[in-house]
């Protein structure tokens, strides 16, 4: 039980760290784009400063070289309009750029899916009672072994339980429904078709590796046998 809690905490931390890395990467790209825009605006500011200098120099040359004030003003207006066009283009590019949270589509496979272990992994090295208590009731289907078709079919009185996952695969895990084995005959009658046990005795059922089944037309077919042991 404690192992499952620690595992969930670690998975949560990994998921949070991955999300923070994605946000930092997107924020870095947004900052880089903003710096590029500021550089262009800075260049435009330099153009305006140069135009102002030319105006002052032009006025002084006007007195010496008899240049008209209209010619200097025309040059200044031309520089100003060029700078204005650059600003308008920059603002237009910024307007068309969506917020960084929407700039790139989400990964096709959510991070939570990438780091989430499957049921076979979660059901390893755990007591049957602990796992069934944590598993959703909606995903538990009571089954029994049917010798005629060599498969497991749904039966409310069955001694085994199929636990399905929310993934798109047809695989599921098959566990004993009981938490304890009270007699050796109980194992031979209900569990030997899907599980192996090296030291058969009585005690609490502890799953070393769960049995895996695949969906079939009439029920579930055994894909991989499981291993269990009995603990006092």
The answer on pLDDT for 192 being more than 80 is: yes
Closest CA to 162 of 171, 170, 172: 172
149 has pLDDT over 70: yes
Cα separation, 159 vs 88, in Å, equals 74
- Asked if pLDDT for residue 113 goes beyond 50, the answer is no
Under the banding of pLDDT at 50, 70 and 90, the label for residue 101 is very low
Q: Are residues 71 and 173 in the same domain?
A: no
Residues 143 and 76 in one domain: no
Rounded Cα gap, residues 227 and 232, in angstroms: 17
CA–CA dist 164, 170 (Å, integer):
9
Same domain, 60 and 145: no
Beta carbons of 212 and 132 less than 8 angstroms apart: no
CA-to-CA dists, residue 123 to 72, 167, 174, 179, 210, angstroms? 84, 16, 10, 14, 6
**Confidence band (pLDDT; 50, 70, 90) for 122?**
confident
pTM to 2 decimal places? 0.49
Q: How confident is the model at residue 217 (pLDDT cuts 50, 70, 90)?
A: confident
Structure tokens at 199: 């030291």
Q: What is the mean pLDDT of the chain?
A: 77
Give the C-alpha separation, 21 to 39, whole Å: 27
- What is the band of 162 on the pLDDT scale with cuts at 50, 70, 90? very high
Domain presence at residue 110: no
pLDDT value for 184: 86
CA 58 to chain centre: 64
What are the tokens at 72? 């200097």
Residue 175 phi/psi, 5-degree rounding, is -125, 155
Lowest-confidence pick of 42-51, 78-87, 93-102, 130-139: 93-102
**Rounded mean pLDDT of 109-123?**
59
Q: What domain range is 78 assigned to?
A: 2-96
Q: Does 184 lie in the same domain as 84? A: no
Q: How many residues does this entry show for the chain?
A: 232
Domain co-membership, 90 together with 176: no
What SS3 state is found at 151?
strand
What spatial distance separates the first Cα and last Cα of the chain, rounded to whole Å?
17
């Amino acid at each position: 039980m404690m192992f499952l809690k620690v595992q969930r905490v670690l998975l949560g931390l990994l998921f949070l760290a991955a999300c923070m890395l994605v946000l930092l990467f997107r924020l870095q790209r947004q900052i880089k784009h903003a710096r590029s825009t500021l550089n262009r605006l800075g260049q435009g500011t330099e153009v305006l400063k140069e135009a102002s200098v030319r105006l002052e120099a032009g006025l002084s040359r006007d007195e010496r070289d008899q240049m008209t004030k209209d010619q200097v003003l025309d040059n200044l207006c031309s520089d100003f309009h060029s700078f204005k066009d650059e600003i308008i283009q920059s603002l237009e590019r910024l307007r068309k750029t969506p917020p960084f949270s929407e700039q790139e589509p989400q990964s096709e496979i959510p991070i939570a899916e990438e780091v989430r272990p499957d049921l076979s992994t979660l059901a390893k090295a755990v007591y049957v009672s602990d796992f069934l208590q944590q598993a959703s009731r909606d995903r538990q289907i009571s089954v029994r072994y049917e010798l005629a078709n060599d498969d497991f079919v749904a039966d409310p009185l069955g001694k085994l339980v199929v636990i399905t996952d929310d993934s798109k695969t047809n695989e599921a895990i098959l566990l004993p429904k009981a938490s304890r084995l009270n007699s050796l005959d109980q194992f031979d009658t209900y569990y030997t078709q899907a599980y192996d046990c090296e030291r058969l005795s009585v005690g609490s059922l502890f799953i070393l590796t769960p049995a895996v089944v695949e969906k079939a037309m009439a029920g579930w077919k055994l894909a991989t046998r499981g291993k269990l042991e009995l603990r006092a």
